[in-house]
């Protein structure tokens, strides 16, 4: 099965949800989907569809590079013990690290993907998913 066919439901969902600047290309056996989601909830929905097609994102044949065009949301504080908090491309420890947030750093909450993973954006503009256990809302 061609990759575009395999992930057609994901591409269709991105189009239907209003993902702007949507670009889909295949290169070296990997399908790349790029764009800007209108909200963090849409970004989360796309990752959920990806997980349904490829459980636990195991095949490694898709790069989902869709960031949320969310207004600045609430601020959360990184509450790790000693180390930096990894920010990942998707909601899971198997996803590549795209950035880090320092202990006690205040970052922006984009959305709550689920109880374990929240979509966040650093002050440097790095966006991805962080383990919610290490984030604390600022009152």
State pLDDT tens for residues 62-103.
999 887 764 457 889 999 998 999 999 999 999 999 999 999
Mean pLDDT of the chain: 90
CA dist 114 and 129 (Å) reads 11
For the cut 90, the answer to whether the pLDDT of residue 121 exceeds it is yes
- Identify whether residues 63 and 113 lie together within a single domain: no
- Identify whether residues 7 and 62 lie together within a single domain: yes
* 25: β partners: 32
Domain boundary among 29, 45, 68: 68
Domain ranges, residue 114: 75-137
- Identify whether residues 131 and 86 lie together within a single domain: yes
User: Mean pLDDT, to the nearest integer, of 132-139?
Assistant: 83
Strand residue runs (E) in the chain: 20-27, 30-37, 62-68, 75-78, 85-88, 97-101, 106-112, 117-121, 127-131, 135-137
Count structural domains, the chain.
Answer: 2
pLDDT of residue 63: 92
Domain boundary among 17, 37, 68: 68
Percent of the chain clearing pLDDT 90 (strictly above): 68
- Identify whether residues 94 and 53 lie together within a single domain: no
Domain boundary among 33, 68, 103: 68
């Amino acid at each position: 099965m061609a990759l575009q066919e395999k992930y057609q439901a994901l591409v269709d969902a991105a189009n239907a949800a209003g993902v702007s600047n949507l670009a889909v290309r295949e290169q070296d056996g990997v399908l790349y989907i790029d764009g800007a989601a209108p909200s963090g909830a849409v970004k989360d929905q796309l990752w959920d569809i990806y997980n349904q097609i490829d459980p636990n994102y195991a095949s490694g044949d898709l790069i989902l590079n869709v960031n949320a065009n969310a207004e600045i949301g609430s601020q959360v504080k990184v509450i790790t013990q000693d180390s930096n908090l990894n920010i990942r491309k998707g909601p899971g420890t198997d996803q590549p690290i795209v950035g880090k947030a320092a202990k006690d750093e205040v970052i922006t909450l984009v959305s709550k993907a689920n109880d374990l993973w929240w979509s966040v954006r650093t002050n440097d503009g790095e966006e991805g998913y962080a383990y919610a256990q290490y984030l604390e809302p600022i009152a």
